[in-house]
A and B are shown apart, each in its own frame.
Chain A
Amino acid sequence: MNAHPLNPEASREPYHAASIPLPRAADRRLVEPVVTLRHAAAQRGGRQLWRALDLTVTAGEFVAVLGPNGVGKSTLVQVILGALPLAEGEVRVLGGPAGRAHERIGYLPQRRSFDSSLRVRGRDIVQLGLDGHRWGLPLPAWWPGGAARRAASARVGEVIDLVGASAYAERPVGELSGGEQQRLLIAQALAPAPELLLLDEPLDSLDLPNQAAVAALIARISRTQRVAVMMVAHDVNPILPHLDTVVYLAPGGSRIGPPGQVVTGPTLTQLFGTPIEVLTASDGRLVVIGQPDRSGVHVQRRSGPQP
């Protein structure tokens, strides 16, 4: 099932849809899907997670991956990263097998905040996202032959500005609040100018105003830089106004489509096999009633410090 037979950008950004021929690289970015999963199935620890998943994500698309705990949302991210093989089916990322194009993917793992005693500046954390995988030592900008390093440093400053973290980027990251750390980590993921952002519950450790602000920031980046975003989310509401597509994973199967068609009572009732109602509050927020997992308590599955 293809979520978007037509490029959603065509309606959102008419400028790009004009008949002017685009440069070849950008052209390919528009035409070729960023992520393609065909009849994909995954297992973890011998346990079957999702199966028969068909998904296409195009440039600039904002996709939410929703579902109860333990259904394999993070596993989907791991598959796209190439860290976990599929049990069956095929995955293609940025025109090749998963795991090839790591320099074109920005990844934000499920967090964990930094240890409060970590004496590393926020700016250095962002810089690692840009060149941390390269061998050698991080040399200072005044060292001979520093043109590339000055360019890297400028890029780091640029993404820090973009996420609005300039005020605290020079402070040790352990001293910062969860929201400030999260912005810097988004800047880290953005530093290599990725074409795909994989975000695993990026709003989890944030308070409500920060959730809305970070969601809007990610949506703005997705739109203006034409970055495809796949965000694993526990709560759809902060990102609902920005979403193009919802991937809803459930033990009984999966649904992919625009949020208005997926996050509905009948669809979720069918997925979970138990009566579920979706109510819309006066402010547009969705309230899901009857879902097994929606007790309001989120269980941290991974080891590591609690936020």
Chain B
Amino acid sequence: MILAVGPSWNPIIDLQQMWSFPFMVNAFRAGSIVAVLASVLGAFMVLRRQSFAGHTLSVIGFPGAAGAVLIGVSASYGYFAFCLAGALLIAASPRAGPGGYSEESAVTGAVQSFALACGFLFVALYKGFLNGINALLFGNFLGITTGQVALLGVVAAVSLTVLGMIGRPLAFASIDPDVASARQVPVRALSVAFLVLLATAVAAASQITGTLLVFALLVMPAATAQALTALPLRALALTVMIGLIVTWLGLSAAYYTPFPVGFFITSFAFTGYLAAQAVQHARPRWRAASPAASASTTGITR
């Protein structure tokens, strides 16, 4: 797409070649920030069973970005503004009670379809936008400015700091809301705070993967890591690693081919997910075959 030259298959030479272009350096910087942020928030999203809310937030980003382009500002602002507004809307919907997501999913679905409709209206209003809509839906890594990288960096630093402060009670409220509220954990406030953080991560990730493929970075690294280990901190570290690796591989692949970066990130993440599922299903048989191995895999402590 960029060059007629193919990869040399020597990672160092290829990286040097890609990074000789400032837009590629920015793409790697932005991609790395987004991968870390989305993976960490995704881990909590999977734990909280709020993937549908995450998906809706990503769809809401589409009219936001389209609207921002329509009025002539950076798509970044549109993503953040609409995703955060959507998070507050979902958070305001009544929860049926502990573990009751029924009401939330109905509200979430309604918000999602309305957002998509608005997005297509904005696209229709902005004529001659056909290339842009592809980038919004399926991701783009061209033309990320240094200013955008800085914005993503600040957003990620703030989000991860906040998450670091509420991480443990949030996990408690996610796994065990009844007991957590009996221990005076502010379950409802944490739920709102988490949706706002999730919206931030979604808005950031959408700029790389596009709004339809944001799940590649939200769900798949977390689901892959959780299939491999039940140790919480190890799972979190593994999630971030997987997120970074699929992003770097996806950016490199998109550089040397004419296909969108979102497709590659999704495909690599999905391959990893399938492999982890295979390992998880094969593991009980290995254990049955060698009891000593089972002692060594389950006896590890944090």
Contacts and interface: CB of A to CB of B under 8 A. Distances in A.
A128 B172 contact: yes
Nearest to A123: B301
B166 A135 contact: yes
Interface residues of B, number: 38
A120 B231 CA distance: 7
Contact of A132 (B47, B49, B168, B226): B168
Determine the main DSSP class of A at the interface with B: loop
A195 to B, nearest CB: 15
Contact of B175 (A118, A138, A303): A118
A125 interface: yes
Interface stretch (B105-113, B179-187, B199-207): B179-187
Interface string A99-130: 10011010111001011001111001100110
B165 interface: yes
Contacts of A81: 182
A121 B302 CA distance: 11
Contacts of B175: 114, 118, 120, 125, 128
Contacts of B172: 128, 132-133
Nearest to B182: A107
B169 interface: yes
Closest 10 CB pairs of A and B: A132-B172, A109-B178, A137-B167, A119-B226, A107-B182, A172-B230, A133-B183, A128-B172, A140-B302, A119-B230
Interface in B192-245: 226-227, 229-233, 235
Interface in A268-302: 302
Classify chain A's interface size. 35 or more
B96 interface: yes
26 contacts: A99-B184, A107-B178, A107-B179, A109-B98, A119-B226, A120-B232, A128-B168, A128-B175, A128-B176, A128-B179, A128-B180, A129-B183, A132-B169, A132-B171, A132-B183, A133-B172, A134-B168, A135-B166, A135-B168, A136-B167, A136-B168, A137-B167, A140-B233, A170-B299, A302-B97, A303-B97
A22 interface: no
Interface of A: 81, 83, 99, 102-103, 105, 107-109, 112, 114-115, 118-121, 124-125, 128-129, 131-138, 140-141, 153, 170-172, 188-189, 302-304
Contacts of B226: 119
A121 B184 CA distance: 23
A171 B181 CA distance: 25
A138 B235 CA distance: 13
Contacts of B232: 120-121, 124, 138
B226 to A, nearest CB: 4
Contacts of A134: 168-169
Contacts of B97: 302-303
